Amino acid sequence: MHDQSPGANKYQLGLAVRRSVLGDSHVDRAELASTDFDRPFQQLITEGAWGTVWARPNWSKRERSIVTLALLAALGHDEEVAMHVRATANTGATREDICEAFLHVAIYAGVPAANRAIRIAKEVLAEMDTESTGSDGR
């Protein structure tokens, strides 16, 4: 469907980057849930955010992940904070990186924003720990 459009290369690159950061299952769910109404939005973020900004060679995925977490936390985008904390499993950003990003948020964007982001990160990281050890604790 996207192969004939002028932005096909940006879309394909963006899709690959998006999959590498967010994981195949997340992207597959988003694509399956898209409708005619939001398909243009999905294409926009795939080409713009993932195929343009995240695909740039100047910063590593780890660096982009840290900055993204700080920005999302500062803006109070809780669902996106959770999604990008989960994505750190693919970007190389560590728990220490997440903590440092949120310390910056506390100073530059406010303690309440950082507090909320830290709460979300703790919940997501605990879920990730549970998933990695399995539900039976192994």
Q: What is the DSSP string of 11-48?
A: HHHHHHHHHHHH-HHHHHHHHHH--TTTHHHHHHHIII
pLDDT at 7 over 90: no
Dump pLDDT digits (tens) for 52-109: 999 999 999 999 999 999 999 999 999 999 999 999 999 999 999 999 999 999 999 9
Mean pLDDT of 24-46: 95
Amino acid 6: pLDDT: 54
CB 71 within 8 A of CB 86: no
Average pLDDT, the chain: 93
Dump pLDDT digits (tens) for 82-94: 999 999 999 999 9
